[in-house]
Amino acid sequence: MNKILPLILLWLLGTTPLAWAKTPGEVEVGSLLRDATMQGLSGSSRKLSEYRGKPLIINVWASWCGPCRAEMGSLDRLSRRYGGKQFVVIGISTDDYPDRAQAFLQQAKTGFAHYIDSKLLLENMLGADRLPLTVLIDADGRVLAKLYGAKEWDSPQAIEAIGKVFGVKM
């Protein structure tokens, strides 16, 4: 497993550069996320810690980000197929204007929960210095991987990679 994980992450990363400056307060891969209250965008507000107990996929996006918009459909299909069973998918918008984020969500018709990060707390903690960012977190809240750039999250390769990172059968 330890030899396979870097290969899986390399595939998911594609040609994304690996070295970047850290955001203020960024939690590194291998560390536990701090708790934070997330302001509801498509529902009520929740604490990040309420998602503990199951692996979590957090997608950080913005309505103005073309690659974010492009991958949202595959995240929704992934969530509808596996979400709640093997893991949970949530979205965090970095939009400055909640009405723009909500307008995009109405158009995208996603079925998973979305939050807005108007104070940059989650954006900085997750390391979202560029978008989209998808963070894979284990059931205990430990960051397993940070993947930048748009992906086809419901492709057979991505599903296999997610299962291996989380150690679950897909």
Q: What is the pLDDT of residues 102-151, one digit of tens each?
A: 999 999 999 999 999 988 999 999 999 999 999 999 999 999 999 999 99
Q: CA dihedral in degrees (92, 64, 18, 152; nearest 10)?
A: 80
Q: Quote the number of domains for the chain.
A: 1
Structural domain of residue 97, as residue ranges?
A: 24-153
- Peptide bond connecting 24 to the previous residue in cis, omega within 30 degrees of 0: no
Question: Distance from CA of residue 86 to its chain's centroid?
Answer: 15
139-154 pLDDT, tens digit each: 999 999 999 999 999 9
Classify residue 48: in a domain, yes or no: yes
Classify residue 159: in a domain, yes or no: no
Classify residue 12: in a domain, yes or no: no
Classify residue 16: in a domain, yes or no: no
pTM of the model as a whole: 0.88
